[in-house]
Structure 1
């Protein structure tokens, strides 16, 4: 791996091609990060390891922001530098939702409003990032989505967008375009599994010698499929003076009545007390308020999934190459040493290099088994 350091004007100021170790991670629905270890004498890059400078890696479309540097010395190894940072998506963490905001209608338009209000065209000019733009997706899998949500003024922008994208099973990214603009985009990966015939297959399997040391996880430790979501009706008061509650039971999409009953029913409580009919700019109807309360429940359920994932080591130089043959969010075909096979989404990709060589570690989530041999509900 090789990294280029850019200054605050996006000018290339140094190249890092010698290091003790380098770990670079891209993610589908979260910001990525990097961790870099160097010795003080490596190519004289120390003066350029400055907070808020940028790092580029030719093997990734993402750009990282340097966020910390630690210089340590010891008698055995001499001076060592540890540098850490996060990808451009982390810029969203620097903003909160400034005013109470209600979203309804088209999903992408709702995300754009959140970003416009916080970064692109905020009412308070100091909050504006001048080179930040929103790139509209034309993918029908995104443009057809809808939203009904309400956010309080103190909520973090990154957390709100992350929750919405996880619930809708789409990704988001911020990249630097050719005009030196931070370009936010919603996206969904390409299906490269055996389930389709439009794109070339991408298959990871020990039999192809491109997936080794696999780890398979099937966990319902934090799983929930029913959310009792409760909000307050700000208009109507009881005789005791307390607001009446509006309650919405939200269930996980795609589950049968049998899966939502008996011992298979896993409940959580979601406090949506901030959602009232009153707002500075908009008075919600009962139907609108119920939709917003339900959205809070859906987001909470999305954070408590039945987790089925697989990861392993891949050779970064043979057969299927990240960024060329498959990208973040793509659906690929996978199989491990024990014959567990199916389709899965590339949700994370770690590139690592040290004195022992270069290795890549993809993480595959949302696994769908080709031969589901799990015991069915009710057996």
Structure 2
């Protein structure tokens, strides 16, 4: 594999095809990260970006370290996140309000455009960034947001609506294109895409770890907005009945105002809808955690990585030895290159989203 080393202007400093290891950690509901370990080279000290022609992601170097291995030999370690991390450098200003139902995708595109691509304050603009494809997504009723970290908020919406955000660097045009995209459904209940079934029966799983945790699970929220005391407007988000199954949380939404960024008043019914949306955003991080962590053989020809399955796809995982069958999204792919050999560790599960379904084999 060949890696192009780019400077801060995206000009090529050199190429690297001989390194100790590369960990390329791709994520669906968060920005991915990487770590490159190589022989000492002055070029690496000037490197700001790692470009892989075979990957859709581009690395943004944020840390450079000089370390010694067990033999005393010096190594350079470059690490950082992918280009989506540019969103982490911006907060959402001015206030952004929607008062009618809209898809999450265009909202995310608006937020990126207003804070990165074409902000009112031109000093906030990143010159080689544009907005690209915006896939169809689920809808949100209404929302209001201001001063939130742009990256954190965008991924909150992605987590709620099942989509993702990508930043794709075009080496030929020197442009970064942000996209809102969806993984493919590869479960056996659909016919649009080929199926992806990972099973010990098919011998395409080397190792599997299963994890489920409901300790922090919440299903009822009190969202408190404007006002004081008994006059404070409080909305509820109820996704359960009553009794011992009810697990409550409190969301302080005093920052949400009954007016938009242009000081136009917002009616109380719409304001309550905005409060409920804030509750949905916060609740997404307080749901049941269920993950299946698999080491998948990339040399197994029954399912080819990035062709028959990829990051974001909803697939089926079966492990008869544990009695587990789940249909879950691939939320992380950890590529590890060592000695010119690739291994991929794949994590299935939304991390903070409710699990799709589990059937037990007896």
Q: Give the TM-score normalised by structure 1.
A: 0.86
Residue equivalent to 1:200: 194
Contact 2:328–2:356 under 8 Å retained in 1: yes
Identify the residue that residue 237 of structure 2 maps to in structure 1.
Answer: 250
In the alignment, is the contact (CA less than 8 A) between 1:340 and 1:369 conserved in 2?
no
In structure 1, the residue corresponding to 2:225 is in which secondary structure? strand
1:92-132 residue CA offsets vs partner (Å, 9 max, x unmatched):
00001122221334233322221122111111111111221
Decide whether the 8 Å contact of 1:14 with 1:48 is kept in 2.
no
Measure, in 1, the Cα distance between the counterparts of 2:110 and 2:341.
45
1:60 is aligned to: 55
User: Are 1:84 and 2:71 an aligned pair?
Assistant: no
Matched, 1:276 2:257: yes
CA contact (8 A) 1:49 1:66 kept: no
Q: Does the residue aligned with 2:241 lie in a helix, a strand or coil?
A: coil
2:243 alignment partner in structure 1: 262
Q: Compute the displacement of 1:147 (Å).
A: 4.3
Q: 1:216 matched to which residue of 2?
A: 210
| CA–CA distance in structure 1, aligned partners of residues 53 and 291 of structure 2 | 27
Between the aligned partners of 2:291 and 2:260, the Cα distance in structure 1 is 41
Q: Is the 8 A contact 2:58 2:83 kept in 1?
A: yes
Q: Does 1:124 align with 2:117?
A: no
| Aligned residue number for residue 303 of structure 1 | 285
Q: Taking structure 1 as reference, are residues 329 and 85 closer, same or farther at Cα in structure 2, changes over 3 Å only?
A: same
1:340 paired residue number: 324
Partner of 1:364: 348
The alpha-carbon deviation at position 138 of structure 1 amounts to 4.6
Q: Which residue of 2 aligns with 1:256?
A: none
8 A contact 1:59–1:323 mirrored in 2: no
Assess, with a 3 A threshold, how the Cα gap between structure 1 residues 129 and 283 changes in structure 2: closer, same or farther: same
Distance 1:147 1:127, change over 3 A: farther
* Matched residue count: 352
Q: Which residue of 2 aligns with 1:13?
A: 13
**Cα shift at 1:356:** 9.9
- Residue 377 of structure 1 corresponds to none
Question: Residue 308 of structure 1: SS of its match in structure 2?
Answer: strand
For residue 229 of structure 1, what is the aligned residue in structure 2? 223
- Measured in 2, the distance between the counterparts of 1:136 and 1:36 equals 30
DSSP 3-state at the match of 2:25: strand
CA distance in structure 1 between the partners assigned to 2:340 and 2:14 by the alignment:
25
Q: For residue 155 of structure 1, what is the aligned residue in structure 2? A: 148
- Which runs of 5 or more structure 2 residues have no equivalent in the other structure? none
Q: Tell me if the contact between 2:13 and 2:43 (Cα under 8 Å) persists in the aligned partners.
A: no
List runs of 5+ in structure 1 lacking aligned partners.
Answer: 253-258, 375-379
Distance 1:116 1:243 in 2: 40
CA contact (8 A) 2:135 2:180 kept: no
- SS of 1:207's partner is coil
Q: Normalised by the size of structure 2, how large is the TM-score?
A: 0.89
The change in CA–CA distance for 1:147 and 1:321 in structure 2 (over 3 A counts) is: farther
Residue of structure 1 in register with 2:26 after alignment: 26
Q: Paired residue for 1:110, among 107, 110, 117? A: 107
Cα deviation for residue 249 of structure 1 reads 0.8
CA distance in 1, matches of 2:157, 2:180: 11
Distance in 2 of aligned mates of 1:89 and 1:131:
14
